[in-house]
Structure 1
């Protein structure tokens, strides 16, 4: 049976927190990393109805796409909506883990899940991900402390390479030094030369995690002045990662395609809104899970026949269509992102086997209840 920390490490391996937007708040919000996990519930929103569902299902962990504490709060008293969620989760011994913007662009993420749910093939990113700035950290640690330092560095965000985490390289050698007056050596005495069996540890990290990783190194390393260096390395963007997806379907009409979209998504009051001629030919399609009118120009630049996304505003959509943009298919934000949950369930089930039960929430948290 895995610990909560093991499940968090799995999810972070697929959707690294380091790639989340600067304004985002992802990761473990509630829970004891040492607690056992037997049942997981997956949902889009950490609202009270979903929390009641998860607790009723006996979940040890609730994983959501949207964060609970995205914006600053000054209280989590049980008299507030967010406070009730926190208190109920803690009382029930249920953790809360969030993967938001870090789960949007990667392979197996939200936009790719939406594209697959709609039957798109030959997928590629609508906007390729930027080349990630990575660095290599090298440090030297007494042999007996190497494992603890590796673990601290990994927890701070090092060692993620492709579908692997906790990656590092080690070699052994001798460290030589003489503590001077004023030093407080962890090994040896002031004024005496020391020779120590040391391990050279090398690992990679996102540039954005530089400060956190160095801080973790300083906290875990036994020496008061550890030797280390951080050197930037160049890494190409993953071909299957980026904002949105572009793909193909068997040629059809816009009306028929819109019906396919409606059938593929959970039913909501929002439904499927369409801008374009019913008989327009549709073969190439761009999709973007979540709010997508910031990528209207990208969809037009790709020359697709239709663009499927959520939260399209009046003026951007109107101007887009006036300038000969492709058909627009506006869908529920919640329904679009819900398509990721079965994909995440399959990933967790494959990795955890029958040691953990993974349930996709059936609670609709789309904010709209009905159309008049």
Structure 2
């Protein structure tokens, strides 16, 4: 049986906590990391009804999207819905793990799961996640010392591209120099112009390791004054992770697309609200799981035919439609994010096999209960 620590490590690998927004609270909320996990329940909200379901099913772990506590608390007396939820989980021995904004942006995360549930293809992030800042390092070394310099670069944290390590490029040429008074050149004699066969070594270095790698190169290099260049690299915006998604669907109308949305998402009293001409052609769709009106300005001039998200407010939505941009589809926050639950459940089952039982909660925690 896997431990809570092992499952937390899996989730952290798929949805790195470091990618969560600074205000967010993600990761393991309660539970002994060394406890064994037999049953895992997945839900959007850590609500009292969901905690009751976890306790009744004898779950060892509840994985949720929304955090239980976003603001600091000074006690957990069971006087609020949140603290009652925590109390129910604690009494039943059920751990709690949250993946929120770190799951929104990820591959296999909330927005991507919503896009796939709606049949979008050729997906790309609406707002690509910024890549870790990188530099290119170029250093010139005599051929007989080049391997030592390359090893020093790798050991100090340079030369990594994705899952590949010790990545360098080498060219050959001739270095010329004249040592000044008091120098002790490795090649030639001080005061005379010398020419030496050298290798040009190029590599990439995370900016956070810039100083460490340059120091390692200088320490490993045989020259008193090695020549090196450092160039900051631009972010090309090619990340597969990021906020929201945009992709293509089979050509339809706005009404037809809205009907597809209603059929794909779990039913709520909120339903599917649409702003735009029902007969408008729809081929390209942008979306953001959860509350996404912060992306409206970015989408105003895009090639999307429709933008789907949740919690759109009156004035921003009205002004957006008046500008003649994409049509709008507003769905229940809970329903949109629920589409992630079967995806993360499948990933856990693929990783852990029959060592755990899993279940997706169908308790509707959308706050709107009925219409009059």
Q: What residue is the counterpart of 2:185 in the other structure?
A: none
* Unmatched 5+ stretches in structure 1: 136-157, 170-203, 208-232
Q: Superposed, which structure 2 residues align to 1:119-158 within 5 Å? A: 119-133=119-133
Q: Residue 205 of structure 1: CA displacement?
A: 9.8
| Higher Cα radius of gyration | 2
Q: Secondary structure at the match of 1:301?
A: coil
Q: Secondary structure at the match of 1:9?
A: helix
Rounded Cα–Cα distance in structure 2 between residues aligned with 1:163 and 1:345: 26
What is the aligned partner in structure 2 of residue 301 from structure 1?
301
Residues 14/74 of structure 1: CA separation in 2 closer, same or farther (3 Å cut): same
Q: CA deviation at 1:206?
A: 11
Where structure 2 has 5 or more consecutive residues not aligned to the other structure, the ranges are 136-156, 167-204, 209-231
Is 1:256 aligned to residue 268 of structure 2?
Answer: no
Which residue number corresponds to residue 12 of structure 1?
12
Q: Give yes or no for the alignment of 1:348 onto 2:342.
A: no
Once residues 41 and 234 of structure 2 are traced to their aligned partners in structure 1, the CA distance between those partners, rounded to angstroms, is 35
Per the alignment, do residues 62 and 168 of structure 1 end up closer, same or farther by CA in structure 2, a change over 3 Å counting? farther
Note closer, same or farther for the CA distance 1:263–1:9 as it changes in structure 2 (3 Å cut): same
Deviation of 1:78 (Å): 1.7
1:96, CA displacement in angstroms? 0.2
**What's 1:55 paired with?**
55
The aligned residue for residue 367 of structure 1 is 367
Matches within 5 A, 1:187-198: none
Distance 1:284 1:123 in 2: 10
Change (3 A) 1:305 1:41: same
CA distance in 1, matches of 2:79, 2:350: 40
Within 2, Cα distance between the matches of 1:133 and 1:17? 19
CA deviation after TM superposition for structure 1 residue 21, in Å: 0.5
Separation in 2 of the partners of 1:95 and 1:238? Answer: 37
Give the direction of change, closer, same or farther, for the CA distance of 1:238–1:60 in structure 2 (3 Å limit).
farther
Q: Which runs of 4+ in 1 moved over 3 A?
A: 161-164, 204-207, 233-238
Residue 239 of structure 1: CA displacement?
2.7
Structure 2 Cα separation of the partners of residues 12 and 235 of structure 1: 28
User: C-alpha distance in 2, partners of 1:318/1:163?
Assistant: 43
Q: Is the 8 A contact 2:300 2:323 kept in 1?
A: no
Aligned residue number for residue 222 of structure 1: none
C-alpha distance in structure 1 between counterparts of 2:162 and 2:43, whole Å: 24
Q: Distance in 2 between matches of 1:92 and 1:251?
A: 50
Rate the CA distance shift 1:168–1:283 in 2: closer, same or farther, 3 A: closer
Query: Which deviates more, 249-258 or 126-135?
Result: 126-135
2:338 aligned residue = 338
Return the alpha-carbon distance in structure 2 between the equivalents of residues 163 and 93 of structure 1.
39
Aligned length: 287
Equivalent residue number for residue 319 of structure 2 = 319
Post-superposition CA distance 1:65-122 (Å, at most 9, x none) = 0000111222210222222112211111100000000000111010000000000011
Contact 1:38–1:60 under 8 Å retained in 2: yes
In the superposition, the TM-score normalised over structure 1's length comes to: 0.73
* Matches of 2:95 and 2:134, distance apart in 1: 31
Deviation at 1:297, TM superposition (A): 1.9
| Separation (CA, whole Å) in 1 of partners of 2:331 and 2:243 | 17
